[in-house]
Amino acid sequence: MNIKLQITAICVAFLSTVSAATLAKSELMINGVSFESRAHWMRLANSALEISGSPCPFAAFGTVIVNHTGSDTGKLICMGVNENSKTGNPSLHAILTDPMGHFQLTPSEAQAAFNDLSLYTNAESCPMCAAAIRWSGFREYIYGTSIDTLIEEGWGQIRVPSVDIFAASYDLPTQSRLIGNLLANETDPFFLWQYNPSYPCPHGCMRSKDLHASPSCS
């Protein structure tokens, strides 16, 4: 099956359907937004990696936040990359108000804006970030590569999918739409080379030919 067709859309308003995720086709508009528009933003989440100084950082987690209200196309609010290694604090990597991060929204800006905002991330968030996304009241949360794929490819992850966090969040005052596996055929290659020396580097990067050097892409 063409992975582009595997857009899994789950609305927490319909908890009974959460376990049987809806498979939406690429021609469908979800929340008034076309697949083409969503693909554009997911590709930008991939290119956000270049903020780190390389198109192929080891922690290849890129995110963009978009306001889709008022138009299908949407408007970019901010973009960022995983900064665990810089801050040394894993709890900071999804905090939009972090003064050391790329988002740097004020607390009041963040609070007011979340209900209009869609968060695109090229890989499924860890349970901590998924909970932060849900607490924040984002209108939509869209990810590419799944936690299951990350684990299959050697990444250490906590095995709690975002849909479980969303499904358990029904007491919160806001609702949020979760769309998974969007454009995973394009996001997966950013996460498949780190633990597999025979997997090709992402576009624009190469492995060292020196067998004694780090096998990382750079």
- Catalog residues that contact Zn ion under the rule CB under 5 A: 126, 128-129
In the complex, what is the shortest distance from the CB of residue 74 to Zn ion, in angstroms, rounded to a whole number?
Answer: 23
Q: Among residues 30 and 123, whose Cβ is nearest to Zn ion?
A: 123
Q: Among residues 6 and 63, whose Cβ is nearest to Zn ion?
A: 63
In the complex, what is the shortest distance from the CB of residue 141 to Zn ion, in angstroms, rounded to a whole number?
Answer: 12
In the complex, what is the shortest distance from the CB of residue 209 to Zn ion, in angstroms, rounded to a whole number?
Answer: 34
d(CA 165, CA 134): 8
Tokens of 117: 């905002």
Q: Among residues 135 and 208, whose Cβ is nearest to Zn ion?
A: 135
Bridge pairing between strands 62-67 and 117-123: antiparallel
In the complex, what is the shortest distance from the CB of residue 157 to Zn ion, in angstroms, rounded to a whole number?
Answer: 10
d(CA 98, CA 92): 7
**Run of H or E including 38:** helix 35-47
Extended beta strands in 73-112, E state: 75-81
Q: Among residues 129 and 150, whose Cβ is nearest to Zn ion?
A: 129
d(CA 100, CA 91): 13
Q: Among residues 126 and 182, whose Cβ is nearest to Zn ion?
A: 126
What is the dihedral angle through the alpha carbons of 66, 69, 71, 72, rounded to the nearest 10 degrees?
60
In the complex, what is the shortest distance from the CB of residue 207 to Zn ion, in angstroms, rounded to a whole number?
Answer: 27
Instruction: Report helix, strand and coil shares of the chain as percent, to nearest 5.
Output: 30, 20, 50
